[in-house]
Amino acid sequence: QGSQKRSNSTPETPRPKRAPSSHSPYRLFSPGSFSPSVTPSQKYSSRGGRGDIVASFGTIQSPAWHGHSGCAVKLFGCPKENLTKPYKFMFQKALDVREALAGRMEELGEVLRRHHGLDGFTSAGLPAQEPVAVLGQIGCDGNGKLNAKSVLLLGDREHSAGAQVPLDLSELPEYSLFPGQVVALEGTNSTGKRMVVSKLYEV
């Protein structure tokens, strides 16, 4: 018997694709075999019933709300901290954002210190053979997702001068952290390059 020559397939003359066999399992379990047949959707411009209620729950339909007159708004707190004029959101200067974040970290650190009765915080970048308490923010050492091996502590400005130190969380029975979280930790940092965390203070 003579050999059959296979047809060449080129972008100009593509080879016709073979239809799936009726005995193929993909045909039996395709999405079309399980999905019910639906009518094709109408065009967006020709749709009808715009604004109509198609489903409701309960007996109250479109309740009416009325306000009382004579209400007045009063600002509390320091006048410098209240917004008295419009401003462009996310147009703040980088230095102002840094000052606001540093101030917030100091406030949360003071809350953690009082809540757990800590004597004070030490620098996260200095070697410590004995367990010490440090304050800072959770960070990541790269652009990837935060995991147990990529956790950094970005120390506060007052005690740690913004020093960064990797964290070893292997001694903690459980923890839940996210980037930017303000935490107080207790641990040892024998070499000054990695802190082994033994306790995580939370509110």
Spell out the domain ranges in the chain.
Answer: 88-202
| DSSP state at residue 133 | E
Please say if the pLDDT value at position 2 is more than 70: no
The mean pLDDT value for 53-64 works out to 69
Do residues 161 and 182 lie in contact, with contact meaning Cβ atoms separated by under 8 Å?
no
Q: Quick: pLDDT tens for 127-180.
A: 988 999 999 999 998 776 888 888 999 998 888 888 899 999 999 999 889 988
Q: How many CB atoms are closer than 10 A to CB 2? A: 4
The mean pLDDT value for 169-192 works out to 90
| Nearest-10 Cα torsion for 30, 35, 40, 46 | -130
Q: Quick: pLDDT tens for 95-124.
A: 888 888 889 999 999 999 999 999 889 998
Do residues 174 and 134 lie in contact, with contact meaning Cβ atoms separated by under 8 Å?
no
**Which pLDDT belongs to residue 142?**
76
> The tokens 């001068």 sit on which residue?
161
Please say if the pLDDT value at position 186 is more than 90: yes
- d(CA 68, CA 135) in angstroms, rounded, equals 48
Q: Which CATH architecture has domain 88-202?
A: Beta Barrel (2.40)
